[in-house]
Structure 1
Amino acid sequence: MPPHQVAIMQDSAPSQRQTRILDAAERVFARAGFHAATMQDVATEAGMSPGNLYRYFASKDAIIAGMTERDRTMIAADFAGLDPSRGSVLDQLETLGRKHLVEEPREKAVICMQIWAEASRNPKMAQMCAEIDGTVIGGLALAIAGAKASGELPPDLDDARFLQAVFMMADGFFCRRATDPDFDAAMAAETLFMAMRGLAQVLRLPAAETATP
């Protein structure tokens, strides 16, 4: 995908028309999948002509890049709002997690599954996923550092293993929600956040790594 196709999404927030297209594309992709869906399908869902759609996005890949960048920007803004001075960081992370895991429609989880599947064979899609993961990891790392400094989290918490565990649980949550129409997201979120809090207390660095000279 040529860089100019996604520059419009990376340099500024999406316009009202672009947002309408991205929202329409999410609905279409969730119903039909990336490969089966057509630009005509997206144009119809967005209530515009295909010619008008191509003025904003040159291809389905460009639309997917726009969707991914929009999500990355939103996630970055959410993590930027975390602040130990506003209270428990784990409470703030739980609120943030509920926003993305529970409050978002199930279609978002379906699209995530499609993106991950496509990333396994499409290097450009894999790069988009890596950029989102990098944004999440960076935000979590800063939040954990702040919680350690405030005394909320143990100073010897193994950050790497804790982040890995949180990622695996969240990924599993998305997969289950996408594939099981009867999945109880609210109840599962309670389990996930309880596990997150428990792991924050037991995933400690080995004593040899924390001992002072």
Structure 2
Amino acid sequence: MPPVVPAALTDSNLSERHIRILDAAERVFAHAGFHAATMQDVAAEAGMSPGNLYRYFSSKDAIIAGMAERDRSLIAADFGSLHPGNGALLDQLEALARKHLIDPPREKAVIALQIWAEAARNPEMASMCADIDGTVMQGLAAAIAVAKANGELPARLDDNRFLLAVSMMADGYFCRRGMDPAFDEAFAAETLFAGMRQLAQTMLLPEAEETTP
């Protein structure tokens, strides 16, 4: 059986130096904030001269773009690994969500909040966020279609409302994690996944709207 999402979506082609810079920038932005941090701060954290840093990224916005594309590529790769032969797709989606929402350090959520705030006034940032959201929604939609076809999910599941609800729940989890250092991440994660599974069984289209194959 083919994977749920084509693996062709997954290439990132980042060099070791690019990875080192992006990792350093994440640490700097999480600690100092996107606006307060400077390219010199990123260069120092990456262990290189500012002049060398500018050979790879021309600005902080370019670094943010690199971070966003790296995240999008990693998400696409993980959706590309989903396969009905690997077990229940809801279990696979939960594992994927844990990897991207829960397992990374809290600083990842802090940076996401900064990027989302910047996207509210910066069209280029908004476009980067939309690209990541589009990759997530495409992967989820493909997984749901397979799960409906193999009987794991109800045939009458309202895909659009379910995808919207799950994305808002995940965004809310990330926001709370980034804002509240005392946030109970484990309990909230279990609540999130329980809600996702419940909605998958109950957020149904009216019977009159059910489409026939």
TM-score (norm 1): 0.93
Residue in 2 aligned with 1:25? Answer: 25
Residue in 2 aligned with 1:6? Answer: none
d(CA) in 2 for partners of 1:15, 1:184:
36
1:162–1:199 CA contact under 8 A, matched in 2: yes
d(CA) in 2 for partners of 1:187, 1:53:
41
2:12–2:70 CA contact under 8 A, matched in 1: no
Q: Which whole-Å deviations, capped at 9, do the CAs of 1:99-120 have from their partners, x for residues lacking one?
A: 1111101011001101110000
Residue in 2 aligned with 1:147? Answer: 147
Instruction: Name the aligned partner's letter for residue 195 of structure 1.
Output: G
Give the C-alpha shift of residue 211 in structure 1: 5.7
Provide the alpha-carbon RMSD of the alignment.
Answer: 1.5
d(CA) in 1 for partners of 2:185, 2:137:
23
Give the C-alpha shift of residue 85 in structure 1: 2.0
d(CA) in 1 for partners of 2:179, 2:140:
27
1:21–1:43 CA contact under 8 A, matched in 2: yes
2:88–2:152 CA contact under 8 A, matched in 1: yes
Instruction: Name the aligned partner's letter for residue 109 of structure 2.
Output: A
2:113–2:178 CA contact under 8 A, matched in 1: yes
Compare relative contact order (CA 8 Å, sep 6+) and give the higher one, 1 or 2: 2
Give the C-alpha shift of residue 61 in structure 1: 0.7
Give the C-alpha shift of residue 11 in structure 1: 8.1
Residue in 2 aligned with 1:4? Answer: none
Give the C-alpha shift of residue 208 in structure 1: 2.0
For 1:20-99, what aligned pairs fall within 5 Å after superposition?
20-99=20-99
Instruction: Name the aligned partner's letter for residue 96 of structure 2.
Output: L
Instruction: Name the aligned partner's letter for residue 201 of structure 1.
Output: Q
**1:119 and 2:119 aligned:** yes
TM-score (norm 2): 0.93
Q: Which whole-Å deviations, capped at 9, do the CAs of 1:4-50 have from their partners, x for residues lacking one?
A: xxxxxx98521111100000000001111111110000001111110
d(CA) in 1 for partners of 2:67, 2:211:
46
Q: For the structure 1 residues 11 and 93, does the alpha-carbon distance in structure 2 shift closer, same or farther, using more than 3 Å as the test?
A: closer
**1:101 and 2:98 aligned:** no
1:169–1:192 CA contact under 8 A, matched in 2: yes
Gap runs ≥5 in structure 1: 1-9
d(CA) in 1 for partners of 2:37, 2:211:
57
**1:179 and 2:167 aligned:** no
Q: Which whole-Å deviations, capped at 9, do the CAs of 1:125-151 have from their partners, x for residues lacking one?
A: 000000000000000000000100110
d(CA) in 2 for partners of 1:96, 1:62:
27
Instruction: Name the aligned partner's letter for residue 17 of structure 1.
Output: R
TM superposition outliers: structure 1 runs of 4+ over 4 Å: none
d(CA) in 1 for partners of 2:73, 2:181:
28
User: What is the count of residue pairs matched by the alignment?
Assistant: 204
Instruction: Name the aligned partner's letter for residue 56 of structure 1.
Output: Y
Instruction: Name the aligned partner's letter for residue 209 of structure 1.
Output: E
2:158–2:203 CA contact under 8 A, matched in 1: yes
